Chain A
Amino acid sequence: MEKTGQNLTEKIISRHAGKGVRPGDMVVADVDIALAQDGTAPLAIRQIEKLGSCNPDRNHLNILFMDHASPSPRKELADDHAFMRSFAKEYGATVSDVGEGICHQLIAEKYAAPGMLILGADSHTCTAGAFCAFATGMGSTDIAVAMATGKTWLRVPESIKVVLHGKLSNGVLAKDLILHIIGDIGADGATYKALEFSGYIDSLDMEQRLVMSNMAVEAGAKAGLFPADNRTLTYLQERGRAEQFNEIAPDSDAGYEKVIEYHLDSIEPTVAMPHAVDNTAPASTLSGISIDQVYIGTCTNGRLSDLETAAAILKGKRIASGVRLVVCPASREIYLKAVEKGLVSIFIEAGGLVLPPGCGPCVGIHQGILAKNEVVLSTQNRNFQGRMGNPDSSIYLASPATAAASALFGHITDPREVV
């Protein structure tokens, strides 16, 4: 029987296309927020300049973030930043300057709301799916056209329903769950699809949901959405944005390409091994892997609860000798709270160092590039060869709890041994 109800993806895209849509439809849709970062904005700006104009009504919706190389480590990148600032002045776009933090975290704190269509020239734009926004990464040209015209072309994706049961156990975080899911379905397991999380999602707070949505793209997905519920409302209320809330849930007879289910109680601390995100194993099986550096931060796991989790493990202790611990809060707000709560002192006293808010070493531009044959355990979302700046190094991905525990012992450690 033909399903008549709509899933989250169909609902949101229908609203923005001005007509009812089904998977496979090609539509032109209205864009709410369009963003670019310092690695993608200069190219987007050059494309906008070719178009010759930008819709001034969108100035507060077109946002340029300086987060990847922040503050600039090289003159070329300082020039890119200057180019972004002068474009914003001339055309009226909004700038999020050096020191504010990572684009996806700032979109969460200041902009994202249920039902929005958010496009970013950054693959992890899907992070905002945690708010029940249809948020997806595109390239600079797409973003240029979205910024200039307020429109984009979209092929409506099929949705995969991911039903969550039960609760994560102590020491296990959303990062472990999403790594487990990607290990299960594969790095191309959801290519061209949207993941729609469902079931007992109340057990995941907004910070945990942001981790899940952030990594949807690592399974190839176009978006990773949660329904908008009380937790979404609370988050918006805490930031004085309650009026942006509207409840959105899939219709009970909505159609999905397939349904997959996970029991959260059985998820273990999980690690992705080099050089693929779907190359996963339980942390407990990898205690033979020694590490040179631990990185806690990024748009995946640089939020306050992540820093709190890590600090609770490191408090009053010293990291293993020979290990470097690098911590980077995802935004200025998080940084300030981490200072106020004494977390920064805990990291420094444990032998770590704390970077200014931004992408830090995640993408290999600066601040913690690895030497030949070195091994890093990072809380980021991607461990491709060369990702952190050296193709002859190895990146393991894990939760902030596993990262902190591993820093204490100098090898990959199941955090349940210390919590």
Chain B
Amino acid sequence: MAGGPSREYNNRLIRWVEYRLPIFSAVEATIGRDMPTPKNLNYWWSLGSVLFLALIIQIATGIFLAMHYVPNGAMAFDSVEQIMRNVNYGWLLRYVHSNSASLFFAAVYIHILRGMYYGSYKAPRELLWIIGVVILVLMMATAFMGYVLPWGQMSFWAATVITNLFSAIPWVGESLTTWLWGGFAVDSPTLQRFFSLHYLLPFVILGVSLMHVWALHVHGSSNPVGISARSKQDTIPYHPYYTSKYMSVIGIALIILAFLVFYEPNFLAHADQFKPADPLQTPPNIVPEWYFLPFYAILRSIPDKLGGVIMFGGSIAILFLVPWLDTSRVRSARFRPTYRYFFWIFVLNVILLGWVGAQPPEGAALVIGRLATAYYFAHFLIVLPFVGWFERPRPLPESISKPVLKSGTPAAEAAE
């Protein structure tokens, strides 16, 4: 957020404002239109723009949905049906809102896995990573509270199960859950405060995301080879090169979103969500939205209430420590022959946990869930530190442009 004007503006109005409030240069210093960016960024680096798009879609559709929604236990379910049937384009706003939440999480998970594969969290980008994990936690809280608002059966029981996690805390658990509920069970007061917070948190996410981008632009993007840009030859301006690339990715993301919204709007929904909340009848198999399944599997695999809650929280909290758990000095898994395999095992293990999370907690699924939970933590606590010590990384290229420009004979020079 630098101060003085860095460039001369042609537009007189912009010049007039800039002289009095240097907002244009401040924005440019943060968003970085001309920021030199490594020239070898692949498509895995484009999820950040999809995430910003998803956040804007969620805020925009959410503001208009809130104009019709009633956050009251007696009326919430009916008001959502009112949105679906009577409000002009209400169905579109709601289906975009619910499916875009899935897009949001799909993109954020790929974004996080990108960081894990290419070691994006390593010095000097530890704080950037930590801010990112904070955004993930905020997203999870927002998505959970949003899921409660339609006040269907899954809403009600998801709210019950998740708020009851806090009752596991010794001594204060009971009064803490009563405080969270505003009563002795999940009820209208709970719904109303969830609505208030669900409206607030996206703006908090927006603020923290700007911090994320700000921190990113201090040292710039990491890149697939994981060595820092050394010369001008290693970088290209962000605009128009990456803006155009990311626009194409945003186009693909919008096509996926449009397919879900217009053809399979309830593909990711649950049948029990079409029944109004009933405090006397728990659905036979409570499952969360797909993006929470791996964490839910971890919660259920521990046969102890407090233990399950600690592992559930720990499975996310451990991400904060990743920059220090990974002892390798080489960033990119491209040059880490051992870690590379462990990374993909980790990905498969998380998918397996997701499958377990959707199964009833008994029989083989329970056993698999326990093993997969153990491996999830072993990846962070054993694989990351020890592979870093024992692994012999492959030799790193001298510069970013070396591997890009084929075996040291720069193609650009050859062409000239």
A and B: bona fide binding partners: no
